[in-house]
Homo-oligomer: A and B are copies of this chain.
């Protein structure tokens, strides 16, 4: 018996309502992420999202104040997901807590969350969207850069800041190229070659 079967049973208990809300909200976010990644934010209409999520257009506004907040919600959730996955990967083994580990973790994540990265890379150059997203995205980027810098600093690199910038650019570049054409990109080889180079 799935969640939707509550639908026509009323009055509902508060718990059922909570489950319903949860379900609808999840479906909306998932549908929106998929369509945003597929067609781009501005080319995706609320109508399309509602259809994909199998609910009425108006209902969307019960959960999100508008299209923009929906975008924010997607980023908030996805960024949390990514952070968690990262933390997990880092904690995996002690040996992973190295530059090589970071590279592997990052590129593995990209492959696992293509849609989000597509959306993210597609939003990054659009001031209108950056405004909507506020400083979150920028702060996140900074956070990553800082983490990398710390790695290089502790490992005694000569120019930790520059090294961090370079590695960040490299990971970001690979991620984007992969996301642009996942079927043909030699992600594994590229990852291992980079890892090897940074393990010397």
A3 at the binding interface (Cβ < 8 Å): no
A38 interface contact, C-beta 8 A: yes
Q: Chain A: interface secondary structure? A: helix
Interface residues of A in 161-179 (CB under 8 A from B): 161-163, 165-166, 168-174, 176-177, 179
| In contact, A193 and B159 (Cβ under 8 angstroms) | yes
Among listed A23-31, A73-81, A92-100, A119-127, interface-contacting one: A119-127
Assembled-state Cα–Cα distance A63/B40 (Å)? 27
> Is A46's CB within 8 Å of the partner chain B?
no
Tell me if A125 and B128 are in contact (CB < 8 A): no
Cβ of A180 within 8 Å of any chain B Cβ, yes or no, is yes
What is the distance, in angstroms, from A112's C-beta to the closest C-beta of chain B?
A: 18
| Contact present for A127 and B189 (CB under 8 Å) | no
Assuming the contacts A43-B127, A162-B189, A193-B162, asked whether A174 and B180 have C-beta atoms less than 8 A apart, the reply is no
A156 to B39, CA, bound (A): 41
Residue A194 at the chain B interface, CB threshold 8 Å:
yes
* A19 within 8 A of partner (CB): no
Chain B residue with Cβ nearest A145:
B177
- CB contacts (< 8 Å) of A127 on chain B: these are 38-40, 43
Contacts of A166 in B (CB 8 A): 170, 174, 190, 193-194
- B128 close to A118 (CB less than 8 A): no
A43-B128, A121-B125, A193-B162 given as contacts; is B168 within 8 A of A177 (CB)?
A: yes
Query: Chain B nearest CB: distance from A33 CB in Å?
Result: 14
Q: Please tell me if A186 contacts chain B, counting CB pairs below 8 Å.
A: yes
Look across to chain B and name the residue whose beta carbon is closest to the beta carbon of A128: B43
Residues of B within 8 A of A171 (CB): 173
A5 interface residue (CB < 8 Å to B): no
New contact pairs (10) apart from A125-B180, A162-B193, CB-CB < 8 Å? A11-B56, A40-B125, A40-B127, A118-B125, A125-B176, A161-B186, A168-B177, A169-B176, A171-B173, A172-B177
